[in-house]
Structure 1
Amino acid sequence: MVTAQQEPDTTDVTAAVEALREALMAAKIVLPSLRADRASPSLNLIRPGASRRRYPAR
């Protein structure tokens, strides 16, 4: 959790996005829009974006 005294660490969220992308690819799930959420950088959230139509139905 980021408090008022802490600076958000974009390296951590970027690494998390890449690790999540690799794990999803290993499961043959592709989220081409997977990225860090730019709307709230202090929260270090990840936006899943869109997926190919057949994957959400799995």
Structure 2
Amino acid sequence: MYEAGEPLFTRAQEAGAARRDASFDDVLRMITGIIATGYVSDEQRGRVLRFALDGIRTGKD
């Protein structure tokens, strides 16, 4: 996961699309926690994941 994901996340940061104060490890742990939690529906899980990922984006994309 790290070998594939970390370079992509670094490129997103360098391009200004991802926050520089987050590490790939931070993001991976956040996503893992969100996905592992029980939800009422798949739609709710997707909504919560989108909320979290919106916080990682810089708004420049």
**Please, what TM-score do these two structures have when normalized by structure 2?**
0.35
Q: Which has the higher strand share?
A: 1
- Higher relative contact order by CA 8 Å / sep ≥ 6: 1 or 2? 2
Larger Rg: 1
